[in-house]
Amino acid sequence: MRIIPAIDIINGQCVRLSKGDYNTAKIYSNDPLEVAKSFQDHGVEYLHLVDLDGAKSQGIVNHKVLETLATKTNLKIDFGGGLKTDQDLKIAFESGAKQITGGSIAVKDPQRFLSWIKSYGAHKIILGADAANEKIAISGWLETSTEDLIPYVANYMTKGISDVICTDISKDGMLEGPSIDLYEKMIRELKDIKLIASGGVAKLQDLYDLSAVGCDGAIVGKAIYEDRISLKEIEQFILNAPTC
């Protein structure tokens, strides 16, 4: 299972939210590059970079941060937040994203999202399927849609999508453990999904539990920043993680 640390950006700074609430933003670093390099130094290969400014704006905002991290580290970066137009997507890939995560756009403008899959290939596109009570949430989690999580993901999988990031918003930033039962259900019902779990990871055992149910990856954010899981422990997990 891939370990994917998260860097969420507001005003060029690394922050974390609780349950997606912008009013809870806590700044952890003014230097995203320093944070990214510390991940790389401990054997991490992947990074989940979220433009929180972009998520509630009209388009991508923090592409310069993406460009800096992509050019000054070897991390494979997936980028999300503010991707609303074809130009936004072009900027993200030109700034160094290996993949992009489409969340709100896949709900609000499915034809555009499908065109991105066709233009760039499904391997370059991650479906961001963030949920509250198994309903899809959008717009930086400021809105809840009427879409049911599993049928919604299943529909996009028929269009070629296999990589899916799912955050249970009730768990995000709360350090109370991930939604193991939800992820187990998704993996059971959605054949061939490459599920990336996000939200709630609080201790090292959570990573082993996510690996055991068959998650392809796990995004880790606040647990690292709050020293609940050390980068040394992350490094050892990467070296010793069991094969699912």
What would the mean pLDDT of 196-219 be, rounded to a whole number? 96
Residue 56 scores a pLDDT above 60: yes
Residue 122 scores a pLDDT above 50: yes
Per-residue pLDDT tens over the stretch 133-150: 898 987 545 566 788 999
The band of 75, judged by pLDDT with boundaries at 50, 70 and 90, is very high
Among 104-108, 160-164, 229-233, whose mean pLDDT is lowest? 104-108
Q: Which residue has the higher pLDDT, 140 or 22?
A: 22
Residue 203 scores a pLDDT above 80: yes
Place of tokens 């959605």: 190
Among 24-38, 174-188, 223-237, whose mean pLDDT is lowest? 174-188
Per-residue pLDDT tens over the stretch 84-94: 999 999 999 99
Predicted pLDDT of residue 124:
98
Residue 82 scores a pLDDT above 60: yes
Residue 12 scores a pLDDT above 80: yes
The band of 244, judged by pLDDT with boundaries at 50, 70 and 90, is very low
The third-level CATH classification (topology) of the domain covering 2-240 is: TIM Barrel (3.20.20)
State yes or no: is 8 an active-site residue.
Answer: yes
Residue 209 scores a pLDDT above 80: yes
8, 53, 163, 206: the catalytic one is 8
Predicted pLDDT of residue 33:
98
51, 130, 163, 168: the catalytic one is 130
Residue 55 scores a pLDDT above 70: yes
Predicted pLDDT of residue 174:
67
State yes or no: is 130 an active-site residue.
Answer: yes
Residue 218 scores a pLDDT above 50: yes
Predicted pLDDT of residue 137:
82
- Average confidence score pLDDT of the chain: 92
